[in-house]
Amino acid sequence: MDASKVKRFLLFLLLLVSAGGILDSADRSERWPTVRAEHLRSHPVCEACGRNLDLEVHHVTPFSNDPTKELDRTNLITLCHRDHLVFGHFGSYQKYNPQVQAHARQYRAWKLRWEMD
Ligand SMILES: [Zn+2]
Ligand SMILES: [Zn+2]
């Protein structure tokens, strides 16, 4: 690959990244960072494994399916990065788990029981 091709490729990547950023911030409510922070304060551990590592706030019904639920607190669940992908999205961010809250609760109960034995 010659230098101009590399340069064009890098420019292309930069374009992709910035386009994603613009789409994201244009669609997202400006109140989301506040609602997210409040949710993390009241739910400070992963609701599946109970750790407080790499926490993310997941939308049970995805923002793309129902934007009106973006700030709905009953639509939010705290998950660590690993469990976000596994429980929230069945291993792929193209999918989502409508029963993530029940599954996370079940897993947590099982995990606690194993740890006590
Ligand atoms: Zn977890
Ligand atoms: Zn998610």
Q: How far is the CA of 89 from the centre of ligand 2 (A)?
A: 6
Residues 100-113: what's their mean pLDDT? Answer: 96
Q: How far is the CA of 31 from the centre of ligand 1 (A)?
A: 25
CA distance 6 to 107: 47
Q: How far is the CA of 79 from the centre of ligand 1 (A)?
A: 5
CA distance 68 to 71: 7
Q: pLDDT tens digit string along 75-95?
A: 999 999 999 999 999 999 999
Q: What pLDDT does residue 7 have?
A: 79
| Residues paired with 55 in a beta bridge | 80
Q: Are 99 and 68 in contact (CB under 8 A)?
A: no
Q: pLDDT tens digit string along 36-78?
A: 999 999 999 999 999 999 999 999 999 889 999 999 999 999 9
> Which three-class secondary structure state does DSSP give residue 7?
helix
More confident residue, 15 or 112: 112
Residue 98 banded pLDDT, cuts 50, 70, 90: very high
Q: How far is the CA of 95 from the centre of ligand 2 (A)?
A: 9
Would you say residue 22 has pLDDT above 60?
no
Residues with CB under 5 A from ligand 1 (ion): 46, 48-49, 80, 83
Q: How far is the CA of 70 from the centre of ligand 2 (A)?
A: 12
Nearest to 79 by CA among 112, 102, 105, 48: 48
DSSP 8-state symbol, 26: H
User: Which of the ligands is closest to the CA of residue 84?
Assistant: 2
Q: What pLDDT does residue 95 have?
A: 94
Which pTM was predicted? 0.75
